[in-house]
Structure 1
Amino acid sequence: MLIFDKKLHLLTYLSTIVSDKASLGFVPTMGALHLGHLSLIKESLLNNEITVVSVFVNPTQFNNPNDLSNYPRTLEKDIDKIKSISCKVIIYAPTVDDIYEGKTITEHFNFDGLEKLMEGQFRPGHFDGVGTVVKRLFEIVKPTNAYFGEKDFQQLLIIKKLVKTFRIPVNIIICPVFREPNGLAMSSRNERLSSDEKNEAALIYKTIKEVKIKFKTESVLSISNWVEKQFKTVPNLKLEYFEIADETFLLPCKRKNKNTNYRAFIAVYVNNVRLIDTISLN
């Protein structure tokens, strides 16, 4: 298995194996890999001759310094997990200096308002940081296809807008949410949860599954009020936001339109660990 920590070395190697006939799949991660990440890697391996996985905790997308310092960093374990799938995967695990060339500066983007809603509202500057690092990684790796999980649906729309705006020649592939046995969406942050907290956090998916049923017959307001009540019953869980929005512009749904696809979005604190989830309502 080849592991690079410098983009120059990665680029030199890729230049010897990439051709017009070989597609390159790319899975960008922040490490602490779980089965959801591995499913993305498997998808890339199935559909591309070359697969690159990046492992990089990007400082520019954290608006909370404590969240950045507490984010799990498990590179050796990550390498072992990737090896268990295939030794043909190329790993790019750069330093902050290698990505940002000694200047950790966040670019500012206009994503037509997508960046100001939900995650953008509660994590100021987050999507500028995401846009900055994804743009740089795409410029370095130059993938044919890039794989992302559906859990970060708002981020996916942001990345699609980034690709369109800067005319980056990459296909964005969306893969389904991978879940724990109790329904909790898999996340690197889950490693910070105790077993009891994981059990309590199962309420997140249980709630949005019920929202999907309620959406057929109930108003958005009544559903939102019901969701708030669910989380008031569990002291360790704090609802940050719940939103029903259209899947194209993420505009909040006030009145249902039968010709529009809608999705529920939720962010919840389990003590000090922040988790998000989403589900299609159509």
Structure 2
Amino acid sequence: MTSPSAPTAPHAPSLDLGGRTALVTGAAGGIGRACALRLAAAGAKVRAVDRDAEGLEALAARSGPLAGTLEAHVLDLTDLDAAEQVAAGTDVLVNNAGIQLVRPIEEFPPEVFHTVLTVMLEAPFRLVRGALPHMYGQGWGRIVNISSVHGLRASAYKSAYVAAKHGLEGLSKTAALEGAPYGVTSNCVNPAYVRTPLVEKQIADQARAHGIPEERVVSEVLLQDSAVKRLIEPEEVAEAVAYLCGPQASFVTGTSLVLDGGWTAH
């Protein structure tokens, strides 16, 4: 049996974000980069936020026409006040930035646990807090939180990441309840393993944690519970984000859009 290949890029459904400002965190690479490009292609003025200045520069300098614009904002999300400020005036907020460390709980550095929760849960709270006044004022807004299958399930050796993603799910639902009277939706997108630098680093970490070669990690660890035996492409996640920003998803809020290849069907 051969592994399924990633689909060819479909014709993107119509999405018009002309005149809208979108903020994407972790935009220098992976899912964030794909989301920034997708929203800019739909006409949005995209605030691309990341601590990776070189990656943002490469994103902003990419070739090819975009209906919207890409505006680089170099920012470390552990600066929570700055995170809240940069979100002011945004119509679409995509909380994507994430970090990962794979260690057993008894070996997990407490300072890293704190940093993961700061970047992946407290910063999204501050970003939402900064964005909501403008969204409420105009009666429209879209909050999309890039969660994970680990927002719904746990895996060993990922205490900080799993805790942060579970917390993000709760934050997203609360924002959905509060935002509904103002035309603001809040949802999570929950991919399994995406072909990103973060996952590539995990492969090495998981190999050490499980004591197996890296080439066995993808098939025996990452894709063990997935019915579809391949990694997800960042552009597939970006299309899910685009869907949630479109008019056809105006009644979709407080939920999790799961892209896990059947992982949670078990």
When normalised by structure 2's length, the TM-score is: 0.42
Indicate the structure (1 or 2) with the bigger Cα radius of gyration: 1
